[in-house]
Amino acid sequence: MTIESQLEAKRPLVAGLQRVVVKIGSSLLTDPDGLRTTQIETLARELAAIHARGVAVTLVSSGAIAAGRSRLPIGEHPTIPERQAAAAVGQIHLMSAYEEVFSEYGIQVAQILLDADDLASRHRYMNAAHAVETLQQHKILPIVNENDTVSIDELKFGDNDHLSSMVASLVRADLLIILSDVGGMYTANPAREQDAERIPLIARIDAPLLARARGRGSSVATGGMESKLRAARKAATAGIPTIITDGRVTGALERAIDPTCDEGTLILPVGDRLGRREHWIAFSVKPRGSLHLDKGAVIAVSEEGRSLLPSGLTALEGRFEAGDCVSLFDPQGHEFARGLASYTSREMASILGKQSGEVEGILGYKMGSSIVHRNDLVLLNSLE
């Protein structure tokens, strides 16, 4: 799409911004010697300018592991415990640097460390949301990072691009800005191909686009452009637009919210905006089991907006409790929805394929007619 179409789409999206999430990657904040203080000062100045406009800013910052590695005698390929130790050391120095530079603008900062379990637990998820909201009510700037000292799985497979999209949904942001070491999404790798052209606007992120973006990460970051696009797609389902832009350029943040500036790549929100709870079910909770449905149940759930009844269940896998997230599969084996189970896996096995009226006679009690209620269901097909 053209630059003109980007500007046309951008104007209403950045008008009246109230809440913005900004993600800053390791490649911008660190080098082999540790933190890049000058870069942090520049970014803090721009964030302070946005904060001064009355916009509630939440910062998702990488850099703790890279900052800590320069202070520990570890090799080029550290073990997971060494990375955990580096995160513990580096987080102190990272937050100290932020506190020092933001204090020059009269802004107090707060540290929030999250891991996957925090986001998967509805109770802890809402506690985090309330904490951020309270901090922002007091004009305090929250700085969020993955709790790398304890998050082994995230150290292996995760990145802060994903975290930033979840935080954007958590705080109900109007815009997610991902600062990268490239100017956005390009038609080819701009470092290797001179004729690569920036893509100013993306209306929908599909599989071919993700394939084109694969493998373009920097040496110090865990995520490449594919990771950023996946994060933007998650944000889009929550009704949140994303701008991916070059954080090395002075003034990048201010231009990202400038309706007359066409830098970076703007990814539009898609479809109906998912509520915070629906987004949590779709992306934050790890499914504990799988439910396989017959054709009639798939139609009832996906097309008629009905709850899943035990009569439509043909098989189940996994061990789960009532309230756990489960994946719903059609007869072809395609996962088309996720939801919260109303019964345990043991209970569901006993009432599999039965009519709702038979449940109480089989179990001796009845928690409800449905095994997954429609209010606890999210269709995945509309999110792809």
| 3 state DSSP class of 142 | strand
Give me the pLDDT at residue 151, please: 65
CATH code for the domain defined by 287-383: 2.30.130.10
Report the candidate in 233, 62, 226, 76 with the shortest Cα–Cα distance to residue 154: 62
| 3 state DSSP class of 172 | coil
Give me the pLDDT at residue 222, please: 43
Q: For the chain of 384 residues, list the mean pLDDT of each consecutive stretch of 10.
A: 75 88 89 85 93 93 84 80 86 92 95 85 84 93 86 55 90 93 85 84 86 59 75 89 92 91 89 74 88 96 94 95 93 94 94 93 90 90 62
- Spell out the alpha helix ranges (H) of 36-142: 37-52, 64-69, 80-103, 116-120, 122-137
Give me the pLDDT at residue 158, please: 56
Give me the pLDDT at residue 192, please: 80
CA distance 242 to 228: 10
- Condensed to tens digits (0 to 9), the pLDDT of residues 75-86 reads 778 888 888 888
**Tally of CB atoms within 10 A around 145:** 23
Give me the pLDDT at residue 221, please: 42
Give me the pLDDT at residue 149, please: 74
- Which pTM does this prediction carry? 0.80
Give me the pLDDT at residue 237, please: 85
End-to-end CA distance of the chain: 20
CATH code for the domain defined by 3-278: 3.40.1160.10
Report the candidate in 62, 55, 58 with the shortest Cα–Cα distance to residue 22: 58
| 3 state DSSP class of 174 | coil
Q: Which residues pair with 245 in a beta bridge?
A: 179
CATH 3.40.1160.10 residue ranges for the chain: 3-278
CB within 8 Å of 103: residues ≥ 6 apart: none
Give me the pLDDT at residue 253, please: 92
CA distance 229 to 205: 7
- Condensed to tens digits (0 to 9), the pLDDT of residues 179-197 reads 988 888 888 877 788 888 8
Give me the pLDDT at residue 232, please: 92
CB within 8 Å of 202: residues ≥ 6 apart: 1, 185, 209, 229, 232, 265, 266, 267, 268
CATH 2.30.130.10 residue ranges for the chain: 287-383
